[in-house]
Chain A
Amino acid sequence: MTRTELDVAISISQIFYLFSFIISFYASRNFFLPSYLKRFYWYPLIGLIVIIFFWLNFFKITPLYFYYYLNRFSLLFHYTFLAFFIFKVLNNHDFFNLEKILFIVFFIILLCVQVYDYINSTYNSFFLTNTFLVIFCINFYYKLLNTTPVIALKEEPFFWIISGVFLGMGITIPFYAFQQYLFQFISNSLFYLLILIAGVGYSLMHIFFIKAFLCKTLQRKEL
């Protein structure tokens, strides 16, 4: 795979961000939408802004450092937004609980990596962020199986969103974990293919988000 082919593939996968934003923004006007979904459109919106600046940087319209800092900010946003989404679904009203303590600890680790490991911070940060989110997802599944099973799981938007996060982030973890090692040993074309996994992971996640907003429960409530 060439760099150009990678760019084309990545840009195709980015279409899902756009769809995800449009659907979540449209759904936000639904009066009966659960509170945890009301402002969900911010997540794909920030993703879209990062994508726009990625292409602006690609065509050298904006300086590299601007995209660089924006990317770092978006990573923190991505982690905070999705982690808080899971907490909101878990509906634990304790001011300090294990999840929130873990969130703060992970957040500090992320900040440290971004500040001190300046050279490799992007991939390391992605690896850590996605791993932390997968841990929160597993915690969610554990709690889900230990609560009274009264909900129709396949018709619950939060289940699809969290499953999207779990699947999308889970796929990218091995790549981000071994990217530095792989970069030394594999050809460029294969490395580009590996980068594509991240695109596939994020696209899958957004497909799950779209599915969440198309759940029957929301459609019925809208009527």
Chain B
Amino acid sequence: MQNASAKGIIIFIILCTLIILILITFITVIIYRYQKKQHAYFKELEELKVVHQNNLLQSQLEIQEQTFQNISREIHDSIGQKLTLAKLNLNTLNPDQLNGQINKVNTAITMIGEAINDLSDISRSMSSELIMQNGLIKALEFEVAQLTKLALYNIKLIVTGNSVFLDAHTELVLFRIVQEALNNIVKHSSASLINISIHFDDAFLILKVKDNGTGFSNDRATENGIGLKNMSKRAMMLNGEFSIDSNSKNGTTITIKIPIHEYKAAV
């Protein structure tokens, strides 16, 4: 009788344990499934956020580009024309009636001529037409030529690998990155040597802008912050990688690596 009772107790304990285990397993499965679903949901949300940010950035860049176009057109059509007219007027002056002021007039004509050229260069630099028509390399060559004119920098542009045509938008974004980098060098680096290199391999385009300037500390990085952030965002928009290596001995090297197969231009 006692044996039967002991056996009954054992069965009872096993059954109870089993029921508790089943119920706990049920709750655990619910938690597990919920968290799995939650993980997928947050991942999807994150992806949507990235897409949204990219769209936002794209819109910002389009607006910026449009602004550049407007300024460029304004310089070319309005200020440029007025200066040209002023130069023409000065040229038509009769030297006999200038009472020895001819040198001053000539200097004014030269200065106005230079201003017209400078404005023309700025206008071309801002305009995306140059890059749309001639491509990234030509546009960069133009930028290099502009900087060389200043006679402050020894600047080189090196293109290696099998170059491919990228779509106009991608080339424009890359061009703006280089412009931003060059702008930073001119403003902050005190460099004398600038190397721009573009290397095409099978899968990637690697763009480097290197200078021998003073580099920047964390404080300077904040100063350059918006520019650096813009470059990084632009690289991110092309699904690329953006990195900066900067120190006071070797200057600054900015590297952008983008996958080219996504952006090859349709031939």
Contact = CB atoms under 8 A, between A and B. Distances in A.
B5 A144 contact: no
B41 A141 contact: no
B19 interface: yes
A163 B27 contact: yes
Interface stretch (A40-48, A65-73, A188-196, A214-222): A188-196
A174 interface: yes
B37 A145 contact: yes
Contacts of A197: 16
Interface residues of A, number: 22
Interface stretch (B28-36, B108-116, B153-161, B242-250): B28-36
Contacts of B16: 171, 197, 200
Interface in B11-25: 12, 15-16, 19-20, 23-24
B5 A141 contact: no
Nearest to B1: A187
A187 B8 contact: yes
A153 B30 CA distance: 10
Interface string B27-63: 1001101110110010000000000000000000000
Contact of A171 (B4, B8, B23, B37): B23
- Could you say which interface size class chain B belongs to? 20 to 34
A190 B34 contact: no
Contacts of A163: 27
B5 to A, nearest CB: 5
Contacts of B34: 144-145, 149, 153
A194 B12 contact: yes
B19 to A, nearest CB: 6
Contacts of B164: none
Nearest to A190: B8
Contact of B31 (A153, A174, A187, A189): A153
A166 B23 CA distance: 8
Contacts of B8: 186-187, 190
A61 B8 CA distance: 36
B152 interface: no
Given A189-B5, A190-B9, A149 B23 contact: no
Nearest to B18: A174
Contacts of A98: none
B33 A145 contact: yes
A166 B38 CA distance: 23
B9 A170 contact: no
A150 B9 CA distance: 45
Q: Which 3 A-B pairs have the closest CB atoms?
A: A149-B38, A170-B23, A149-B37
Interface of A: 141, 144-145, 148-150, 153-154, 163, 166-167, 170-171, 174, 186-187, 189-190, 193-194, 197, 200
21 contacts: A141-B30, A144-B30, A144-B34, A145-B33, A145-B37, A149-B34, A149-B35, A150-B41, A153-B31, A154-B31, A166-B27, A167-B20, A167-B24, A170-B19, A174-B15, A174-B19, A187-B4, A187-B5, A190-B8, A190-B12, A193-B12
Given A166-B27, A190-B9, 10 more contacts: A144-B34, A150-B41, A153-B34, A153-B35, A167-B23, A167-B27, A171-B20, A187-B4, A187-B5, A197-B16
